Copies of this chain bind each other. A is one copy, B any other.
Amino acid sequence: MTPHIVILSTGSELTAGRSVDTNSGWIANQLFELGWKVKKFITLPDDPSLILSELKALQTLAKEKQVLAIMTGGLGPTEDDYTLETVLQFTGKTSYSVEKAKLRLTKIYESRGKEYKDILPSVFRQTHVPEGSKTLDNSVGIAVGFIESLGENSYLVCMPGVPSEMTEMFRRRLVPELKKLYPRENLVHKTKWLWNIGESLFQNEFIEPNREEFFKEAEWGVTANRGYIKCIFQSTNEGLLEKIINRLETQYPKIISDDVFQFVHEQLLKEGLTVSVAESCTGGLLGKKLTEQAGSSVYFMGGFLTYSNQLKTNLLGVPKDSIETYGAVSDEVAKAMVEGLYEKTKTDFGISITGIAGPEGGSEGKPVGTVCFGLKEPNGKVSVHRYIFPGNREAIRENASNTALFLLYQSLKFRTT
């Protein structure tokens, strides 16, 4: 029994583009893990008439199918918080103050040295819910959530928009209610990454030939990123999922990976290995990515940004001759960069990047997007790798820095010492 799910966010800061709505995606992700797909996101400004007419439209839809509408936002204390008021108008009900929330609010005020009578009416309003609704406790903030009926087996869930309050309420209060309202089988999911392959090629090569065998009982999804695609499979049949992953690994042994960012971080920590970088066209993006996680100072030592040819020579000792003969973007220079890097930093891993991020600077043999990598491994082995990445300047730089991490991943996973 799968409801037709709609997620509704309210907030003028969202429809004005001043904030990005991360709640809807987060909720959808959680629902996907419960085996449910969302049919629609709606975002509305803080405008009671627009919200009311949307609720009416959902009620009409609930006459045709089971609707689950999950709404966030508009339960706060400011004058542009309209959710409760609009729902009361919509249902024709009155509201009451939830005893537990009232006590919580009083305690919070007392802890700040204020009294019950100091509570502003607008703040107090947050403890109210429509009479007869199912309440959802807020263990982080004040505003109480609630579930209203939208029709037969159809529901409207209202939760605060503050992410920390909403996520806690969703996990602890809403999920158990949803499982009661819409009981179903347990779903398993698995994720793999494939590198430098397009979404459509993957679909032609892997999904289509296996559609009959795999994808009647399993669902698949692909997200395209810079340098890789993320493939997600889910099914209630865990054995089938394992078969899919095996086939995928057999078909793409050289370009498949798990979450590279997480693996590199964990494996470097686990093995106690260090890394440094020498970046040209990425200008620091690889270093930035290697230091995104707390604790990266254990393995990331630092490195060089040798954007100009002069600094390639002065700081890393890349021979001027090599740059003149082969060009700054060449296997030879990538190799000299990573060797010079090792001289200076003595880290277990070294990675160099030199490429043409464009839009200018391409040539026949080396189009825009050509990027050369040097990789120095703990056993002293130095290898060079060359790719041609698609896209604009930003895409090429993202591709290059992500692919550098993939090279590091492969070495961490498969190298022989």
Contacts and interface: CB of A to CB of B under 8 A. Distances in A.
Contact of A15 (B38, B47, B76, B232): B38
Nearest to A290: B283
A41 B15 contact: yes
A20 interface: yes
Contacts of A30: 17
Nearest to A279: B284
A50 B42 contact: no
A16 B32 contact: yes
Contacts of A28: 15-17
A290 B303 CA distance: 17
A18 B288 contact: no
Contact of A16 (B42, B50, B221): B221
Interface residues of A, number: 97
A186 interface: no
A144 to B, nearest CB: 17
A24 interface: yes
Interface stretch (A148-156, A237-245, A390-398): A390-398
Contact of A20 (B16, B20, B276): B20
B292 A394 contact: yes
A393 B294 contact: yes
A105 to B, nearest CB: 13
Given A40-B42, A282-B288, A284-B288, A301 B297 contact: no
Contacts of A12: 37, 221
A43 B21 CA distance: 12
Interface in A257-298: 276-277, 279-288, 290-292, 294-297
Interface in A112-131: 112, 120, 122-123
A270 B40 CA distance: 48
A37 B43 CA distance: 13
Contacts of A301: 307-308, 310-311
Contacts of A27: 17
Interface stretch (A173-181, A222-230, A319-327): A222-230
B20 A294 contact: no
Contacts of A22: 20
Q: How many copies does the complex hold?
A: 2
B25 A14 contact: yes
A79 interface: yes
A78 B201 CA distance: 9
A314 interface: yes
A345 B316 CA distance: 12
A43 B78 CA distance: 27
Nearest to A40: B44
A59 interface: no
Contacts of A78: 199-200, 203
A164 B395 contact: yes
Contacts of A394: 164, 292
15 contacts: A16-B38, A19-B223, A39-B44, A39-B45, A40-B42, A41-B43, A78-B203, A79-B203, A122-B200, A164-B394, A282-B288, A283-B284, A283-B287, A284-B284, A291-B307
Interface of A: 12-22, 24-32, 37-45, 47, 50, 76-79, 111-112, 120, 122-123, 140, 164, 199-200, 203, 221-224, 230, 232, 276-277, 279-288, 290-292, 294-297, 300-308, 310-311, 314-315, 344-345, 357-360, 367, 388, 391-395, 397
